[in-house]
Chain A
């Protein structure tokens, strides 16, 4: 059963293997990809088939380990710097944005309390804020590459101490929460009011709850894309990175809870919706990873976060009747999906070892 050779997929997988060693920036992969494509094109013109051309181009490119090592010598420190500095900046930025949101929410709550706006206008404004937040996130991730390059070249080319200082100051400044500056009474009043505004309208509750999974999904999608350019939405489910898998499953878990809370009034319907969302995401995950070894391990990781959330939730609620616990239904779904993942992954492993 000869499989049709897919040049783009072959190039992506080769680059993925090199970049897995963690020494390539996404721009490096982009450049290598353009090189391989040029090389393949030239060889095809000389009469080779696409597949032969790719094999020759691969050989000429050089040994994967050597390549990764050479790039490490150039990128090593900047990659390390990039990672932990962006961790700091990321935390700082998210706190600043949260503060900004809170500040605007307080204003909306205050205006509602003093009768300047109605509660439906308040609901609309709060929902709008969260939608804007999603757009902001899209913008940041879309231009992430440029931002990284900007920081790396203008900023982090300095030295580690300066970088650390900048990151630390950003982090500290952003920890000064807006709530500290509000008198206790106003703080409580406006937040209670806001809570009522938000809970009154299911659509607005869904928008506000949805910001988190959408943000995480986007974070995941764009970071996978930057390594593997021009890939479809299925990349969302296709990954080798442990962090990505956990992030994705967390996003799925929150999406499930968002839909079950926002859409359905009867309490018993909620867990079923949760289970359906989580289970279908698991199936999609298995489907798009079916060609990769150790699938069962990945599936287990994918199931880990929702499982933990359900365990914590069940303990928190102090469930005595374990049959009524969401954990019970969730457990069944998880066991089935792990078994399925294991079977498909096992078949795959058997085929590889033959």
Chain B
């Protein structure tokens, strides 16, 4: 059970973030925590790199953000999914499902080979 390779993490970051934000409004630190928890620690990445990704997604119009000041006086930037983001999530879902299907059908036909 090794950590996922960097390329794969990068490729899957959009749908993962969109999924997290479709459940509730959230901020960077919490998103990272959610990703780590739901991947059971297999998704390890430099935390800071999440923010440029969020920025990219915001400029694509999939998410929107606002600053909020917590009771302890600290500020956080909250993100929420937009209607466009929900549409994008649908597309991402279809894409990943078809990749999944392709891989699975290929694996099935190769099953006997790998067992030898």
Contacts and interface: CB of A to CB of B under 8 A. Distances in A.
Contacts of A157: 59
Contact of B47 (A34, A62, A75): A62
A6 to B, nearest CB: 17
Contacts of B15: none
A22 B55 CA distance: 17
B71 interface: no
A38 to B, nearest CB: 4
Contact of B75 (A30, A67, A71): A30
A127 B109 CA distance: 87
A61 interface: yes
A24 to B, nearest CB: 10
Given A38-B29, A39-B29, A74-B56, A32 B48 contact: yes
Interface residues of A, number: 21
Given A35-B28, A35-B47, A60-B47, A74 B52 contact: yes
Interface in A44-73: 60-63, 66-67, 70-71, 73
Interface of B: 27-29, 45-49, 51-52, 55-56, 59, 74-77
B77 A31 contact: yes
A34 B73 CA distance: 11
The A interface is mostly helix, strand or loop, or mixed, namely helix
Interface in A15-36: 28, 30-32, 34-35
Contacts of B76: 34, 38
A63 B48 CA distance: 9
B98 to A, nearest CB: 28
A31 B46 contact: no
Contacts of B74: 34, 37-38
A305 B83 CA distance: 55
Contact of B46 (A28, A63, A71): A63
Nearest to A34: B76
Contacts of B77: 30-31, 34
Given A31-B28, A34-B77, A39-B29, A74 B55 contact: yes
A73 B52 contact: yes
A62 B48 contact: yes
Given A31-B28, A34-B75, A67 B55 contact: no
Contact of B51 (A38, A39, A71): A71
Contact of A61 (B47, B52, B56, B59): B47
Contacts of B55: 28, 71, 74-75
Contacts of B29: 34-35, 38-39
A39 B48 CA distance: 11
Given A35-B29, A74-B55, A74-B56, A61 B48 contact: yes
Contacts of B75: 30, 34
10 contacts: A31-B77, A34-B28, A34-B76, A38-B76, A62-B45, A62-B46, A62-B47, A70-B52, A74-B52, A157-B59
Contact of A70 (B27, B28, B49, B59): B49
Nearest to A68: B48
B56 A67 contact: no
Contacts of A60: 46-47
Contacts of A37: 74
Contacts of B52: 70-71, 73-75
A52 B5 CA distance: 28
Nearest to A27: B77
Contacts of A66: 46, 49
A61 B55 CA distance: 17
Contacts of A73: 52
Contact of A67 (B27, B49, B59): B49
A66 B51 CA distance: 12
Interface string A206-234: 00000000000000000000000000000
A73 to B, nearest CB: 7
A34 B72 CA distance: 12
A73 B56 CA distance: 9
Interface in A133-164: 157
**Can you list the 10 inter-chain pairs with the closest CB atoms, starting with the nearest?**
A62-B46, A38-B29, A61-B48, A70-B52, A67-B48, A74-B52, A62-B48, A74-B55, A60-B47, A31-B77
